[in-house]
Structure 1
């Protein structure tokens, strides 16, 4: 059946396939954390969380506190790690039984205060170590300070210790990745020795799972892999993109040589040309970088370039030589034409494209 509007179809069977593929790469006793931040990478976080919970995922991770609250309010019961909490949200974190990532002395001090004010005992936290990404995390030399502050309170307990690879997908950065592994292992072992118990250690992202089995530790995190992308062509062939962005042809125009299309007349026909207008634009996540013939959409299995400037609510494509009519389906990305290919041609990455799909685009769940 042809779509009658712009849709993002979300295939839960593809999600299951990807989860099982990645889970098979780790030992049975290694826990799995599903990263479902940013509306589950632009899809539907609650629907995906419920499916993954049914599949047996052990933990979830979100970026911000409200994302975790939304999951809790929709019935998700598994542990949820908030990767980038702000101190102003610690009361909400405690109220909704979320686990904060503690990444600085400022954050540690404020969370201990909040936990004590709420009369908490052994409230779970995860310590974030900076091993070279230089984004968030305690530097290795801060370990004694962390231990001293934790020793002075019974309000919190370290449930996990983690860090993040900077380039686990890049074989040219293997030496740097090995340095990160060594640093993480050394600092985490020091912390564990002083704690007297062993929190969960996790370091691997999707590419880490696939490329560095020696770094799986107690738990692995997977984000982009769940959604069908593995940061290499070989792995992409074994994963299935869960999202297919579809739209329709709203109108067809026949323009003559020398006529222009769209804002700023960015496309000028060098010959008589047949074009189509589609009902989505940069307000839907198809940003201006995809215009000016940098990438293509699929019309009846033929590639048609996006021409001119992308508008807020519309894009125009060149359909010269393609047998199609108004109301026909157009696929921007999906299983056969991947978001990685669509994004790469415009000089960006699949992560940016799929997480940009606006919430005004209707989601259709394929069970």
Structure 2
């Protein structure tokens, strides 16, 4: 098949999202709902297209990282609740009101700034308060060594805010060794303590959520109002080699492909690409592929044996990955020509390359590898 429209692209199979959402629902209590995390352009998958498909699956809540991501969803027709999971500069507080977006109150001082703005302009800012039970990133510290429940109470009591929810975040829910299990279980205990202490002073906490993707996979029985899957509805985990307590049947929705731009034969002793790290020991057939590190394919996997698929067969990358191109050894693969499709991640015939393979070779996790895929790489929706 010849793709004449672009040199490199991803294909996103939206029809598989509903399957993955149902796999998440099978894991969690029937009383819990799903807040789909679509930050960072849905981890490179395309936030608007995926959010619209998620709405069809019954999703009524989305999590993003910034005001611009939230506004983009609103301006593209997403009417469901949207929570900004991180910091919004106070200069953008008017947008929270204009677009009816929930803001995370990352500290008492930050909440007071939001309250002052809301009072000055006679509006109400809605949001959830974040409590830090062990991540030590953002949120009001509520840990064993330092427990600021008074700050949490004071946020709820600010008169010009509608604090309609509360959450925290796991830091090691993907580790199942005893030490890290104890740490995660203590985070749960601390979060529950905060909820109890709020109720003790007459405050109803509102919408409660704690579990990220690995929190869902390894602690599925927690009965909070929402869970927050990111990668899971995309059909992958951070690394399929990581042990989990459950056995979901996720299907990846993303494939990554590129075109062959040139086929050539090189002679013994000829080197390939920058640095001359590959030298042919015998006559080889080489294809140049129109994708490189500016497209998000990691240069750090150069000369490490990563293989792509072409004509249903594996072909290793040789030499250093360049900014816009890379070379593969197609010796023994018949009839390869300009315009042929190379599968970087995905299926070709009965063979598959998983994003996990690329991430492990790059010494990272799928979250990062997917976010690397550059904006100049078109997303084609099926």
TM range (shorter): over 0.9
Instruction: State how many pairs are aligned.
Output: 364
319-328 or 350-359: which moved more? 319-328
- State the distance in 1 between where 2:136 and 2:155 align: 23
Which of the residues 119, 126, 129 maps onto 2:128? 126
Per-residue CA deviation, residues 101-125 of structure 1 (Å, 9 max, x unaligned), is 111233212211222223124x321
Matched, 1:145 2:151: yes
The residue number in structure 2 matching 1:211 is 218
83-92 or 227-236: which moved more? 227-236
The residue number in structure 2 matching 1:158 is 163
- State the distance in 2 between where 1:35 and 1:332 align: 25
Matched, 1:30 2:32: yes
The residue number in structure 1 matching 2:260 is 249
TM-score, length of structure 1 as denominator length: 0.94
User: 1:209 deviation in Å?
Assistant: 1.2
The residue number in structure 2 matching 1:301 is 312
Q: Is the 8 A contact 1:275 1:317 kept in 2?
A: yes
316-325 or 12-21: which moved more? 316-325
2-11 or 280-289: which moved more? 2-11
164-173 or 228-237: which moved more? 228-237
- State the distance in 1 between where 2:362 and 2:296 align: 14
Matched, 1:340 2:347: no
Matched, 1:329 2:341: yes
- State the distance in 2 between where 1:106 and 1:320 align: 64
User: 1:270 deviation in Å?
Assistant: 2.5
TM-score, length of structure 2 as denominator length: 0.90
The residue number in structure 1 matching 2:3 is 3
Q: Is the 8 A contact 2:195 2:205 kept in 1?
A: no
The residue number in structure 2 matching 1:365 is 381
Q: Is the 8 A contact 2:48 2:73 kept in 1?
A: yes
Q: Is the 8 A contact 1:3 1:246 kept in 2?
A: no
User: 1:215 deviation in Å?
Assistant: 2.5
Q: Is the 8 A contact 1:281 1:310 kept in 2?
A: yes
The residue number in structure 1 matching 2:365 is 349
User: 1:266 deviation in Å?
Assistant: 2.6
Which of the residues 59, 62, 66 maps onto 2:61? 59
Which of the residues 284, 288, 308 maps onto 1:277? 288
- State the distance in 1 between where 2:28 and 2:248 align: 19
The residue number in structure 2 matching 1:194 is 201
Describe the SS at the equivalent of 2:23.
helix
Matched, 1:289 2:300: yes
239-248 or 98-107: which moved more? 98-107
Distance 1:350 1:48, change over 3 A: same
User: 1:333 deviation in Å?
Assistant: 0.6
- State the distance in 2 between where 1:96 and 1:242 align: 30
Distance 1:301 1:192, change over 3 A: farther
The residue number in structure 1 matching 2:16 is 14
User: 1:294 deviation in Å?
Assistant: 4.0
The residue number in structure 1 matching 2:234 is 227
- State the distance in 2 between where 1:294 and 1:117 align: 61
User: 1:17 deviation in Å?
Assistant: 0.8
Q: Is the 8 A contact 1:202 1:216 kept in 2?
A: no
Describe the SS at the equivalent of 1:171.
coil
How big is the alpha-carbon RMSD for the aligned residues of Structure 1 and Structure 2?
1.8
Matched, 1:178 2:185: yes
90-99 or 142-151: which moved more? 142-151
5+ long unaligned stretches in structure 1: none
User: 1:73 deviation in Å?
Assistant: 0.4
The residue number in structure 2 matching 1:107 is 110
316-325 or 53-62: which moved more? 316-325
User: 1:321 deviation in Å?
Assistant: 2.0
Distance 1:341 1:113, change over 3 A: same
- State the distance in 2 between where 1:148 and 1:23 align: 35
5+ long unaligned stretches in structure 2: none
Per-residue CA deviation, residues 227-282 of structure 1 (Å, 9 max, x unaligned), is 11134457787111111011121111211222111122232223222211111111
Distance 1:195 1:51, change over 3 A: farther
Structure 1 residue runs of 4 or more that deviate by more than 6 Å after TM superposition = 234-237
Describe the SS at the equivalent of 2:369.
helix
- State the distance in 2 between where 1:261 and 1:160 align: 57
- State the distance in 1 between where 2:195 and 2:89 align: 24
